[in-house]
Amino acid sequence: MTQTPILLVLLLALSSAAYYFGCKRAFRVADGKIRKLHSLPGYYGLYVALWAALPALLILCAWLLFQGSIITRMVVSSLPESIQQLGPDRLNLVVNDIRNLVSGNIVSGQPDATMLAAAEYYRSLLSVCRNLLFAVVLVVAGLCGWFGYSKIRVQHRARNGVESIVNGLLVACSTVAILTTVGIVLSVLFESIRFFQAVPITEFLFGLEWSPQIALRADQAGSSGAFGAVPLFAGTLLITFIAMTVAVPIGLMSALYLAEYASARVRAVAKPLLEVLAGIPTVVYGFFAALTVAPFIRESGSFLGLDVASESALAAGLVMGMMIIPFVSSLSDDVINAVPQSLREGAYGMGATSSETIRRVIFPAALPGIVGAILLAVSRAIGETMIVVMAAGLASNLTANPLEAVTTVTVQIVTLLVGDQEFDSPKTLAAFALGLVLFLVTLALNFVALYIVRKYREQYD
């Protein structure tokens, strides 16, 4: 890894030199008369510089991506037969040990001769690789730079060349978004499929018991582990429901008030202040929920003679609702402002009061957009992680009582994946299955919401 920055600096120097020589050659072939050239001399320089840098950079990236796995495979195939016959997880341990030997870390147990030999082999491969990489990258940069250099003529269309390369780069950048989505889908899908090979999908979606414990011994109590996710879905929905009962009335009413009643000054102060609520990191809300709101609810509950769990769904939901208020209000504000003024004036002309106009005319007219806004807020609440991780429970509990502790999908993903994991146990894979469900549900909600909002905009445009 350490040689990469040096290599990058070298490449940068090389392409700067290429720029310089490209410019010079352009002047030379035009006998100093720039007007004879097809493009400005700088474009010739850029053309050569891009030729020198880009192919070499591509090779460098590809090399770094695959170097590790190829070296590992070569080392493994050099190991004696007896070690290669081990299962994949044991083999992994061996490879880890070899790597630790190479980097001089502590290894498990006393390394034997074969291990030392393998480590030596690994080390030699690494150094060969490093030298080879240097040579290949620099030679490719030089050759390609020379190729670009040799193409410079008076008639050569350097600007068009440079522009099409830049265009290609722009296209590549815009596909990153697509690649991200593909990456998300593939990463959760593959692990989920492995999970559903161990646990049937119907049991996962409809099972009523969730206790993702994997036994260390076969005869341990509850050794099988139960992966019925219904309690998680129920818990998520309960907390989301509480959050929405807080956020929707407050957010909607403040949007209506700020859009229809408030003076410009009040609006200028209150609107940004409300939006501060959306800018506060969720971990702060989590801390607030766990240390201020939950004890408060618990104490007021016991004052009223109610038994409130210290990690009640109510506390998490309440705080999540707080967080979502500005989400609902600013989205509905946009929607309300999009209602044409003529509708308002028509209603006032008929003698309706402001509140009647809002309730009978503006609200119905804005309803589709508001529904879209609420759906977006729901998807936000479902995917919210830190508040529930810090303030909701860990144990699954199938209940509709907001005073009890429930757990959610995101909480389980975090608890299953934080810490050391083995990637062949259903316990870890279950997190990816939950991630898949989460992704699909929020995707569907967003899709519907954006569709509704867009349709609604078209209606008044």
Partner 1 sequence: MTNPSNAQPGGATSFARIQAGMAKRRAAERRFKMLGRLAVSVGLLFLSVLLFSIVSKGYTAFWQTQMRIDVTLLADEIDPEGTRNAETLRKADYSSLIKQSMRDMFPEVSGRRDKFALYGLVSNGAAFDLRDKVMADPSLIGTKVSLWVPADDDVDMLMKGHIDRDAAEGDRRIKDNTLGWIDRLKAEDRLELRFNIDFFTKGDSRDPELAGIRGALMGTIFTLIVTLSLSFPLGVAAAVYLEEFAPKNRWTDLIEVNINNLAAVPSIVFGLLGLAVFINVFGLPRSAPLLGGLVLTLMTLPTIIIASRAALKSVPPSIRDAALGIGASPMQATLYHVIPLALPGMLTGTIIGMAQALGETAPLLMIGMVAFIADVPQGVFDPSTALPVQIYLWADSPERAYVERTSAAIMVLLAFLALMNLVAVLLRKRFERRW
Applying CB under 8 A, which of residues 115, 258, 315, 406 lies at the interface with partner 1?
Answer: 258
**Element housing 227 (H / E):** strand 226-227
Per-residue HEC secondary structure of 116-143 comes to: HHHHHHHHHHHHHHHHHHHHHHHHHHHH
User: How far apart are CB 217 and partner 1 at their closest, in Å?
Assistant: 28
Q: How far apart are the first and last CA of the chain?
A: 55
* Amino acid at the residue 109: G
Of 52-60, 118-126, 216-224, 260-268, the window that binds partner 1 (rule: CB under 8 A) is: 260-268
Q: 134 or 257, CB closer to partner 1?
A: 257
Q: How far is the CB of 239 from partner 1 (least distance, A)?
A: 14
How many angstroms separate the CA atoms of 310 and 382, rounded?
22
244 DSSP 8-state letter: H
Q: How many residues sit in the footprint of partner 1 (CB under 8 A)?
A: 92
DSSP secondary structure string for all residues of 190-224: HHHHHHHHHS-HHHHHH-S-EE----SSTTSTT-S
Work out which of 77, 108, 155, 174 binds partner 1, going by CB under 8 A: 174
Of 47, 149, 233, 288, which lies in the binding site for partner 1, with binding defined by CB under 8 A? Answer: 288
Q: According to CB under 8 A, which one of 74, 154, 169, 394 is a site residue for partner 1?
A: 169
**Rg of the Cα trace of the chain?**
31
Q: Which one, 26 or 390, has the nearer CB to partner 1?
A: 390
Query: Nearer Cβ to partner 1, position 249 or 346?
Result: 249
Comparison of 138 and 448: residue with beta carbon closer to partner 1: 448
CA 164 to chain CA centroid, Å, is 31
The answer to whether residue 257 forms part of the interface with partner 1 (CB under 8 A) is yes
Residues 367-426 touching partner 1, rule: CB under 8 A, are 376, 379-380, 382-386, 389-390, 410, 413-414, 417-418, 423
Return the number of the residue (396 or 408) whose C-beta is nearest partner 1: 408
Evaluate whether 436 touches 189 at the Cβ level (below 8 Å). Answer: yes
Residue 222 or 419 having the CB closest to partner 1: 419
Interaction of residue 356 with partner 1, rule CB under 8 A: yes
> Can you say whether the dihedral through the CA atoms of 56, 61, 62, 67 is positive or negative?
positive
Residue 290: CB minimum distance to partner 1, A: 7
Ramachandran angles phi, psi of 165, nearest 5°: -65, -45
Contact pattern for partner 1 over residues 128 through 167, marking x by CB under 8 A? -------------------------------x---x--xx
- 70 lies in the binding site for partner 1 (CB under 8 A): no
The answer to whether residue 268 forms part of the interface with partner 1 (CB under 8 A) is no
Task: Return the number of the residue (116 or 273) whose C-beta is nearest partner 1.
Answer: 273
**Minimum gap (Å) between residue 430 Cβ and partner 1:** 12
> Binding residue for partner 1 (CB under 8 A) from 12, 176, 201, 205?
176
Q: Report the nearest approach of partner 1 to the CB of residue 385 (Å).
A: 4
For residues 320 and 285, the answer to whether their CB atoms sit within 8 Å is: yes
Name the residue among 236, 283, 286, 222 with its Cα closest to residue 434. Answer: 236
Given a contact cutoff of 8 angstroms between Cβ atoms, the answer to whether 432 and 191 are in contact is yes
Q: Is 197 in the site for partner 1 (CB under 8 A)?
A: no
Identity of the amino acid at 87: G
Q: Which is nearer to partner 1, 104 or 222 (CB)?
A: 104
Phi, psi (degrees; rounded to nearest 5) at 210: -125, 110
Q: Per CB under 8 A, which of residues 424..443 are in contact with partner 1?
A: 431-432, 435, 438-439, 442-443
* Contact predicate 402/314, CB 8 Å: yes
CB of 181 to partner 1, least distance (A): 5
CA count, 13 A, side-chain hemisphere, 326: 12
Q: At what angle do helices 41-78 and 113-150 cross, to 10 degrees?
A: 160
- Binding of partner 1 at residue 65 (CB under 8 A)? yes
Q: Residue 96 or 202: which CB sits closer to partner 1?
A: 96
Tell whether residue 274 is a contact of partner 1 (CB under 8 A).
Answer: yes
Determine contact, residues 284/315, Cβ cutoff 8 Å: no
- Of the candidates 76, 18, 71, the residue with the CA atom closest to the CA atom of residue 47: 18
In 3D, which of 357, 336, 343 has the Cα closest to residue 457?
336
- For residues 237 to 256, the per-residue mask of contacts with partner 1, x marking binding by CB under 8 A and - elsewhere, is ------------xxxxxx-x
Rank residues 21 and 408 by Cβ distance to partner 1 and give the closer one: 408
Tell me the three state secondary structure of residue 305: coil
Looking at beta carbons only, is 166 or 367 nearer to partner 1? 166
Closest alpha carbon to 372 in 383, 362, 380: 380
Considering only residues 291 through 350, tell me which ones interact with partner 1, judged by CB under 8 A.
Answer: 291-292, 322, 325-326, 329
Instruction: Choose which of 80, 183, 200, 346 interacts with partner 1 (CB under 8 A).
Output: 183
